[in-house]
Copies of this chain bind each other. A is one copy, B any other.
Amino acid sequence: MNRHNPVLTNGCGRIRYNGREPLTTLVRLDFEPPSLSDNRGHQERLLASLEKIAPGPWTFPLPVLRRLPEVMDAGTVQAFVCPDTGQVVDLISGVHHEKAFGLAVDLGTTTVVARLVDLADGREVQHAGALNLQMAWGEDLLTRIAWVREGKLDRLRSLVLETINGLNDQLTSGAGIDPREVRACVVAGNTVMTHLLLGVDPRGIPREPYLPVANSFSCQRAEDVGLNLSPAAPVWFPPNVGSFVGGDVLAGVLAAGMARDEGPSLLLDVGTNGEVVLGGADWLVACAGAAGPAFEGGVAKKGIRAQEGAIDHVAIDPDGRVTCTTIGGGKAKGLCGSGLIDAVAQLFRAGLLDRTGALRRGESFLIIPGGKTVDGQPITLDQTDIANFLRTKAAMFAAVDLTLDRVGLSPTDLKRVYLAGAVANYIDVDEAITIGLLPDLPPNRFVPLGNASLEGAHLCLMHRQARIDLRALAARVSYLELNAEREFMDRFAAALFLPHTDESHFPSLAARLGKRQC
């Protein structure tokens, strides 16, 4: 498998939709000049032109209506309209060559990634990622919800708005356009993040019986959400399945085409929350393991997200000699998720880490000395980093294990395992199996999707049918509440070992370790 070949970096997912019905469409409207014998209102004149092209009914938000007198003078208007809501989004006077842009956002707990899209052809214009500014208020969602209980919902909302608005500023500035020229947006987020973005209190989510305020959100206007796009730009949200499986995961399922496969397939969102979806065209079941931010560089002291300068791959020989690569090939800044997986696996293969995750030579292991890093500080992995990481991988594995068990399947029944999440393209599947993160299956069953949530958001931005499909999909996924399963903790505890308490889950292990250790 080609490690650095993101399957879905810049397309529209593994599935295709015919035609284009983007969330916002640009249409050119021409008018006869008004006269005493035709002195309809500006709005009525514009609607008559518009309805010839796209049947209504159409409505004008007040701020757009107020702009009508200034735009109707030239006899031609470029109208941005949202067929889903029947709203006129924006109007520009004259015959200038206008373009409609949209923003697809993967709103993660740790990382937010956005893609500026040309709505005329669906192509990516620019993309950018940033740490979610809420990280300063807690790396995991439980901590942030604790802050909500302290009255900080508005503060957390501001921070995520600032994150997305900052990305939009960066992308539009890079494309040489105004941030307000973005006239449609799809935000695929997990359930808690979408609540926080919309200023909706998520405190019911983490306590029994785990109630979100809403699993689906109607299309909102950008200015109502607080996004600095075109004020009436529609903002669409993929629906959530439940408290711990959000619209981001569902968008990934859509992009993977998994809901059309015969299956059974497994989709793992290798992000902060460790979501699992199992099934295919006939049935789908989903749950989440609350993995934690390990895969996005959020638990190790030297952890960073997958970006320029991140150590993405590591090899360690039995003498502890390290070779590694960084994204971009320059000096190292820190260790991203795939690098962390490699490092733990290689330490284990080299016999420098025992099955319980204890380092055999001291409390800390040096990956790169200070002289070879960007900031001159050495990059190390210590006992706490490893323990945190093992909890993350155990949560992920336990979620997979229990989900398969619930539907009476074993890992070998899986036709495909889709790997979604920012780190998915960089993961060395072999090493991930070695440490017991992924089930022990032949490598050709694993399909790295890259940022499948972002792909799904991109599809929804471009295709009305994708938006319809996603709502239908949400309705047919069965949601497994792991928080309610006593067995989850047992399986989690068993998966805290390398690769697992019960090595029969990993029949290839002896061969793997043998191969390297020879």
State the oligomeric state as a number of copies: 2
Contacting B at CB under 8 A, from A330-381, are none
Kindly list chain B residues whose C-beta atoms are within 8 Å of the C-beta of A43: 213-216
For the complex formed, measure the closest distance between the CB of A198 and the CB atoms of chain B, giving whole angstroms. Answer: 6
Kindly list chain B residues whose C-beta atoms are within 8 Å of the C-beta of A60: 214, 218
Q: Which of A31-39, A319-327, A455-463, A500-508 contacts B (4 or more CB under 8 A)?
A: A31-39
Kindly list chain B residues whose C-beta atoms are within 8 Å of the C-beta of A242: 39
- Check A490 for interface membership: any CB of B closer than 8 A: no
The 0/1 profile, CB within 8 Å of B marked 1, for residues 7-42 of chain A is 000000000000000000000000000111011111
- Check A430 for interface membership: any CB of B closer than 8 A: no
Contact, CB under 8 Å: B224 / A62: yes
Chain A interface residue count, Cβ-Cβ cutoff 8 angstroms: 42
Given contacts A36-B481, A66-B201, 17 further A-B contacts (CB under 8 A): A34-B209, A36-B209, A36-B484, A39-B211, A39-B243, A39-B481, A41-B212, A41-B215, A41-B216, A42-B204, A42-B212, A43-B214, A59-B218, A60-B214, A65-B198, A66-B200, A69-B203
- 22 cross-chain CB contacts under 8 A: A36-B208, A36-B210, A36-B481, A38-B209, A39-B210, A39-B243, A40-B211, A40-B215, A41-B212, A41-B215, A42-B204, A42-B211, A42-B212, A42-B213, A43-B214, A43-B216, A60-B218, A62-B220, A65-B198, A66-B199, A66-B200, A69-B201
**Residue among A34, A35, A62, A215 with the most chain B CB within 10 A?**
A62
- Check A68 for interface membership: any CB of B closer than 8 A: yes
For the complex formed, measure the closest distance between the CB of A18 and the CB atoms of chain B, giving whole angstroms. Answer: 26
Kindly list chain B residues whose C-beta atoms are within 8 Å of the C-beta of A201: 66, 69
For the complex formed, measure the closest distance between the CB of A484 and the CB atoms of chain B, giving whole angstroms. Answer: 5
Contact, CB under 8 Å: A204 / B69: yes
- Check A150 for interface membership: any CB of B closer than 8 A: no
The 0/1 profile, CB within 8 Å of B marked 1, for residues 190-226 of chain A is 0000000011110110001111111111101000110
What 6 A-B pairs are tightest by C-beta distance, nearest first? A43-B214, A59-B218, A41-B212, A41-B215, A39-B209, A41-B214
- What is the CA–CA distance of A217 and B36 in the complex, to the nearest angstrom? 22
Choose one: B35, B38, B65, B214; the contact of A44 (CB below 8 Å): B214
**Residue among A40, A213, A216 with the most chain B CB within 10 A?**
A213
Choose one: B40, B213, B481; the contact of A65 (CB below 8 Å): B213
Choose one: B41, B59, B200, B210; the contact of A211 (CB below 8 Å): B41
Contact, CB under 8 Å: B214 / A68: yes
Kindly list chain B residues whose C-beta atoms are within 8 Å of the C-beta of A200: 62, 65-66, 68
Contact, CB under 8 Å: B65 / A214: yes
Choose one: B44, B208, B214; the contact of A42 (CB below 8 Å): B214
Kindly list chain B residues whose C-beta atoms are within 8 Å of the C-beta of A243: 39
Kindly list chain B residues whose C-beta atoms are within 8 Å of the C-beta of A59: 218
For the complex formed, measure the closest distance between the CB of A231 and the CB atoms of chain B, giving whole angstroms. Answer: 12
Kindly list chain B residues whose C-beta atoms are within 8 Å of the C-beta of A203: 69
